[in-house]
Structure 1
Amino acid sequence: MQKEQQQLAELVKGKKVAFIGAGVSHKTLIEEFVGLGAHVTLCDKKNSVDDFGSYAETIRRLGIDLSLGEHYMDGFRGQDIILRTPGFEYYQKPLQDAIAAGTLVTSEVELFFDYCPCEIVGVTGSDGKTTTTTLISKFYEAAGRKVHLGGNIGAALLPMLPDVAPEDVAVVELSSFQLISMRKSPKIAVVTNVTPNHLDHHKDMQEYIDAKRNILLHQVPPCREVLGYENDITRSMVPDCKGKQVWFTRLHDTDNGAFLRGDGMLCMAEDGVVTPFLAQKDIKLRGLHNIENLLAAAAAVWGEVPVEAIQKVGSTFTGVEHRIEPVRVLDGVTYYNDSIGTSPTRTIAGLRSFDQKVILIAGGYDKHIPYEPLAPEVIAHVKDLVLMGATGPRIEKAVCEHPDFAASGLTIQHADTMQHAVELARAAAQPGDIIILSPASASFDLYPNFEVRGREFKKIVNELK
């Protein structure tokens, strides 16, 4: 057992440890913690052990205590350690009461930060963080480094700990839910932008902003911070920076960071030297927002990897699933899956990626964020709008109340299901048209996450006759 794994074992051995929920990462960790000698309690809204399906057998085999049902948070009392899941709101009273009573409240990601022996690069933001995180990981891989990729991007990091060596690099996507309680920051921190999001879970916009700031607040020099210049909130984070702060920007030249020059070259300016490193025409990623993601990723690794590694990845990487992902061409109509469009700003970026008006499928779960900023973009970039889900009426109201709607010729239809939405969009399409799923909303009204939503859309499209 390596040193870091031994330290984790010393933390949990003989301790009473509560896990909130049995998601994928917690299932792995529960077994590991029991093996390390912890006395585990699983706290979950489910009403009985049988509600866990096939995992019920594991619960019984491991002898885990259960605190279930309406009062599942009663299980927090008397615990030495509580591992929360990102979806569990940090400021709920039972959790804060446990902290006040001396319980260590932490998470899988926080424990990874505590014990990880290698350099950590962290990325957060309202938009663009998954593509930026993926690009950074590929830059390091192209330079020959072993990369441990995880966090909000899907893979649990703490179970990777036994395989992490000091010379490796961990590249971590961090959501506001993960950051809100973190007390360690990565050596290299990227904040792409901060726009209204997840206001159904955060008390207000300030709490959301403060959670994002945690990626910077606990850095220890020498360190690096990459901030989006075009976003007012990220620009205001400069006083939080403790190391070498650089910008990324698509719209301005800068003498401190990565930028898109007027001649179409992506450049990095640092220490008085401007280095052009990639031509915009050679980039395979669709959309101007992905130029920004490339600039952010390059600024993060500049000086850490050879320029040739950035050029190689930048000119070959075609994108991440569910992000303006081409699905199929049928009857001359091209279908795109942009299910990652879980907020208006993400959908706006997707719409601006095309040089013609599109047929848009939008709507979903309501995160209580404003849709007025989406309205002019829909009018400018959409010819037919197919709405579904809880936010469908809210999007329609914002669009119809915009002063340019009456003269736009935009048609609006409503669908009950994804199948219905695809059928309506297909019926409205002519050869040469583009149909894009970019909901500007979360998926939780009909799907567990945006990935499942995107895959159902692709399945329906690929089964069209």
Structure 2
Amino acid sequence: MGNYKFEEFKKYINGRNAAVIGIGISNTPLIKWLISLGCNVTACDKMTDEDPVLKKNIDALKEISSDIKWSLGESYLTHLREDHYDIVFKTPKMRFETPELQALKEMGSILTTEMELFMNLCPAEIFAITGSDGKTTTTTLTSEILKQAGYKVWIGGNIGTPLLDRIAEIEPDDKVVLELSSFQLLGMNTPADVAIVTNITPNHLDFHKDYDEYIQAKINVFRNQGPVGKVVLNAGCDLTYEMKDIARGRVKLFSANKGKVMRTDSPLYPRAYTEDGRLIYEENGDIYDICGIDEIFIPGTHNVENFLAATCAVIDYVKPEDIAYVAKTFKGVPHRIEFIRELDGVRWYNSSIDTSPNRSLNTMNALAARNEKGVLICGGADKKCLYAKLGDAILNVCDRIIIYGSNADLVTDIIAKEAHGRQYEIYRIPDKEGDVYEFPKTRDNVVNAYKEAINKAREWAKPGEIVIMSSIGTSYDHFRHFEHRGDMFRDLVNELE
């Protein structure tokens, strides 16, 4: 069975002019793909080829075609007014109301993104996961359960690889699982077939105009669904629970707290919850006992919630035993309370994904549930998030804290505010001028700062304790992304003798 939409797009794009803004991970394959379809491409980026990553991408593209036009540097958008473009692909972190983009729209250009075009052209059913926390784990769980049931699964969005250039390989019977951020969803008009909203807490307010815009972006994942669409909502979060009232598709609810999914105003919704230490799915009077909470390999109540969300999404496509198998065998994803090694009786963990206070709060609560004690290494860039309850959660696990990052004052203040007489020690490593990333390597002083933090943690930690790197902020103060930070931390810990 062919992909009619893709065939029509190929006819449309051949010989047309396209501008691609951002020459990064997702847009580099997009540029190659557009060229293969006979499109005339102008590639744009605010950075210049002095950036080593951008230079590598540009060199790779030049090997494919010498006809690509380039618009680089601070005035990269200004140059776009010099030509007409039929279609313009923006980078996710660029706002549609950017004056240069609006000018192009007024000139007749179609404004879109790599992700929206993919969702429009994809012939397979799309499962899309968004929310403030738990996206990556829930996305991975959803894909792993579908694979266990025998489906061919394509995973993309914020994780996996860009999928648009693979569109010709995707069959209607396949399943596509996407992790989508608020950046990708802002202005999105194409809904997922099956949408999950894990939760909503203030996040990325350094980018969004306000909290409401952030919430509305998340809603876009299901806003335009029809009656055959499905949306999975966290009943334990009031904001996501209320989204059921605007959903036009089939609503499912989940929460580890059974009382939340059994609210008197929601008796008819299919639901997943926990009861007597078991994961339960209930629909139309049928009750499915999936597995015991203690059988789930990865720790933490938040991971129980992730399994419940994934269960709601996939239960119509798989057997309960497929879900149970993944629950018992799935070991988690990198950078999420990732065990690195044990040295001198101390266990070292990497949780670089903790790019917000709420993520670190979940990590601390998961460790507290296991009665872990030890040393915290933290610090990153603030996203104008709320830090309430974080200090208490940290001190429930770690009374020795090492901080290196631009949000150090915020972390220090919330710990002091919520200590309530508990004793603790803080070791701060100050930022030095020029402490920014130089990808693929970090600057020496950033590496040395992390070495200092690790050595101090090793000095402090006792046998039987843990050292956890839970950053409480984004990586952009010192690194290119959180994986870069986590990979470096893991490498440095593995170098210890």
- Structure 2 distance, partners of 1:12, 1:88, is 23
- Structure 1 unaligned segments of length 5 or more: list them: none
**Deviation by residue 1:290-339 (Cα, 9 ceiling, x = unmatched):** 00000000011112111121111111111111111110111111111111
**Does 1:445 pair with 2:445?**
no
Residue 412 of structure 1: aligned partner? 426
Residue type of the alignment partner of 1:394 = L
Residue 170 of structure 2: aligned partner? 164
What's the offset of the Cα at 1:50?
8.7
- Structure 2 distance, partners of 1:143, 1:461, is 37
**Deviation by residue 1:70-91 (Cα, 9 ceiling, x = unmatched):** 1111243332211112222333
Conserved? CA contact 1:258–1:298, under 8 Å: no
- Structure 2 distance, partners of 1:15, 1:415, is 53
Residue 11 of structure 1: aligned partner? 12
Residue 327 of structure 2: aligned partner? 314
What's the offset of the Cα at 1:96?
2.7
- Structure 2 distance, partners of 1:57, 1:263, is 59
SS of the residue corresponding to residue 217 of structure 1 reads coil
What's the offset of the Cα at 1:115?
0.7
Q: Which residue among 54, 62, 66 is the counterpart of 2:56?
A: 54
Task: Summarize the Cα distance change of 1:298–1:81 in structure 2 as closer, same or farther, 3 Å threshold.
Answer: same
- Structure 2 distance, partners of 1:451, 1:230, is 29
Residue type of the alignment partner of 1:460 = L
- Structure 1 distance, partners of 2:5, 2:102, is 28
Residues 174-185 of structure 1: pairs in structure 2 closer than 5 A: 174-185=180-191
SS of the residue corresponding to residue 177 of structure 2 reads strand
What's the offset of the Cα at 1:271?
0.9
- Structure 2 distance, partners of 1:252, 1:76, is 54
The answer to which of 4-13 and 149-158 deviates more is: 4-13
Task: Summarize the Cα distance change of 1:59–1:309 in structure 2 as closer, same or farther, 3 Å threshold.
Answer: closer
**Does 1:217 pair with 2:223?**
yes
Residue 77 of structure 2: aligned partner? 73
SS of the residue corresponding to residue 109 of structure 1 reads helix
SS of the residue corresponding to residue 297 of structure 2 reads coil
Residue 411 of structure 2: aligned partner? 395
Task: Summarize the Cα distance change of 1:267–1:95 in structure 2 as closer, same or farther, 3 Å threshold.
Answer: same
Q: Which residue among 141, 162, 179 is the counterpart of 1:135?
A: 141
Conserved? CA contact 1:344–1:373, under 8 Å: no
Q: TM-score, normalised by structure 2?
A: 0.89
Task: Summarize the Cα distance change of 1:294–1:92 in structure 2 as closer, same or farther, 3 Å threshold.
Answer: same
Residue 464 of structure 2: aligned partner? 432
**Does 1:197 pair with 2:198?**
no
Task: Summarize the Cα distance change of 1:433–1:252 in structure 2 as closer, same or farther, 3 Å threshold.
Answer: same
**Does 1:274 pair with 2:287?**
yes
- Structure 2 unaligned segments of length 5 or more: list them: 263-268, 431-448
Residue 32 of structure 2: aligned partner? 31
SS of the residue corresponding to residue 183 of structure 1 reads coil
Residues 36-435 of structure 1: pairs in structure 2 closer than 5 A: 36-47=37-48, 52-60=54-62, 61-77=65-81, 78-253=84-259, 254=261, 256-354=269-367, 355-402=371-418, 404-405=419-420, 407-416=421-430, 417-435=449-467
- Structure 2 distance, partners of 1:115, 1:49, is 35
**Deviation by residue 1:190-217 (Cα, 9 ceiling, x = unmatched):** 0000111111111111111110010111
What's the offset of the Cα at 1:8?
2.5
The answer to which of 382-391 and 100-109 deviates more is: 100-109
The answer to which of 269-278 and 247-256 deviates more is: 247-256
State the percentage of identical aligned residues: 38
- Structure 2 distance, partners of 1:179, 1:304, is 26
What's the offset of the Cα at 1:29?
1.7
Task: Summarize the Cα distance change of 1:149–1:59 in structure 2 as closer, same or farther, 3 Å threshold.
Answer: closer
- Structure 2 distance, partners of 1:218, 1:276, is 33
- Structure 2 distance, partners of 1:314, 1:47, is 46
- Structure 2 distance, partners of 1:418, 1:4, is 50
The answer to which of 254-263 and 308-317 deviates more is: 254-263
- Structure 1 distance, partners of 2:161, 2:179, is 10
SS of the residue corresponding to residue 378 of structure 1 reads helix
**Deviation by residue 1:132-180 (Cα, 9 ceiling, x = unmatched):** 1111111111111111111111411211201101111111111101111
Conserved? CA contact 2:127–2:194, under 8 Å: yes
What's the offset of the Cα at 1:257?
4.1
SS of the residue corresponding to residue 360 of structure 2 reads helix
**Deviation by residue 1:92-149 (Cα, 9 ceiling, x = unmatched):** 2222332233211111111111111111111100100111111111111111111111
Residue type of the alignment partner of 1:214 = N
The answer to which of 28-37 and 341-350 deviates more is: 28-37
The answer to which of 93-102 and 110-119 deviates more is: 93-102
Residue type of the alignment partner of 2:232 = V
* RMSD of aligned alpha carbons: 1.8
Task: Summarize the Cα distance change of 1:342–1:199 in structure 2 as closer, same or farther, 3 Å threshold.
Answer: same
Residue 265 of structure 2: aligned partner? none
SS of the residue corresponding to residue 70 of structure 1 reads coil
**Deviation by residue 1:218-238 (Cα, 9 ceiling, x = unmatched):** 112212111011112111211
Residue type of the alignment partner of 2:329 = T
Task: Summarize the Cα distance change of 1:57–1:456 in structure 2 as closer, same or farther, 3 Å threshold.
Answer: closer
SS of the residue corresponding to residue 306 of structure 2 reads helix
The answer to which of 46-55 and 261-270 deviates more is: 46-55
Task: Summarize the Cα distance change of 1:50–1:152 in structure 2 as closer, same or farther, 3 Å threshold.
Answer: closer
The answer to which of 407-416 and 256-265 deviates more is: 256-265
What's the offset of the Cα at 1:422?
1.1
Task: Summarize the Cα distance change of 1:372–1:263 in structure 2 as closer, same or farther, 3 Å threshold.
Answer: closer
- Structure 1 distance, partners of 2:374, 2:103, is 51
The answer to which of 391-400 and 432-441 deviates more is: 391-400
**Deviation by residue 1:322-362 (Cα, 9 ceiling, x = unmatched):** 11111011111111111110011111111111213331111
- Structure 2 distance, partners of 1:210, 1:368, is 18
SS of the residue corresponding to residue 275 of structure 2 reads coil
